[in-house]
Amino acid sequence: MRVGIGYDVHKLVENRNLILGGVEINYKKGLLGHSDADVLIHSIMDSLLGAASLGDIGKLFPDNDEQYKNISSLLLLSKVKNIIYSKGYSINNIDSVIIAQKPKLSPFINDMKKNICTILNIKEDQINIKATTEEGLGFTGKEEGIAAQSICMLKKIS
């Protein structure tokens, strides 16, 4: 068994779509980034890559490479899954938390889980997603950005 942790943060800006867990959320701001800036998916990818000792998403999908501009993070997650599986690992479980003052994310969590389970070919009881605020403190509490943290456990299958 191998464990990995991932963290990502992006700034909230106007004129961008807010996408978390592959779900487009109707909100006045979105996350700024080279790809779709999906902090949840990015943190999950980094946890998977870390558990397999394969670096991070910046190494695999550099933000100066035009092929990744505005790309769906779900597509990148699929690539990470293929890499992880090709190295002989399967996903045991993932636990994630999204840190955002607003918008309220609980209505979207089931759809996020379904998207991720479909891409990773895992069951819904293998992933947990939570959302929390920081009670108005820090950059997330002041609605300047959104962050996500993830941890995963991989099993060696070959």
- CA-CA distance, 115 to 112, in Å (whole number)? 5
**Residue 135 is assigned to a ligand binding site:** yes
Q: Are 68 and 61 contacting, i.e. CB atoms less than 8 angstroms apart? A: yes
Q: Are 52 and 2 contacting, i.e. CB atoms less than 8 angstroms apart? A: yes
**Residue 65 is assigned to a ligand binding site:** yes
CA distances from 106 to 53, 60, 102, 119 (A): 32, 31, 11, 21
**Residue 61 is assigned to a ligand binding site:** yes
Instruction: Please tell me the total number of residues recorded for the chain in this structure.
Output: 158
**Residue 142 is assigned to a ligand binding site:** yes
**Residue 23 is assigned to a ligand binding site:** no
**Residue 103 is assigned to a ligand binding site:** no
- List the structure tokens of 82: 């293929």
**Residue 4 is assigned to a ligand binding site:** no
**Residue 10 is assigned to a ligand binding site:** yes
**Residue 150 is assigned to a ligand binding site:** no
**Residue 129 is assigned to a ligand binding site:** no
**Residue 136 is assigned to a ligand binding site:** no
**Residue 108 is assigned to a ligand binding site:** no
**Residue 140 is assigned to a ligand binding site:** no
**Residue 132 is assigned to a ligand binding site:** yes
Residues annotated in a binding site for a divalent metal cation: 8, 10, 42
Residues annotated in a binding site: 8-10, 34-35, 42, 56-58, 61-65, 132-135, 139, 142
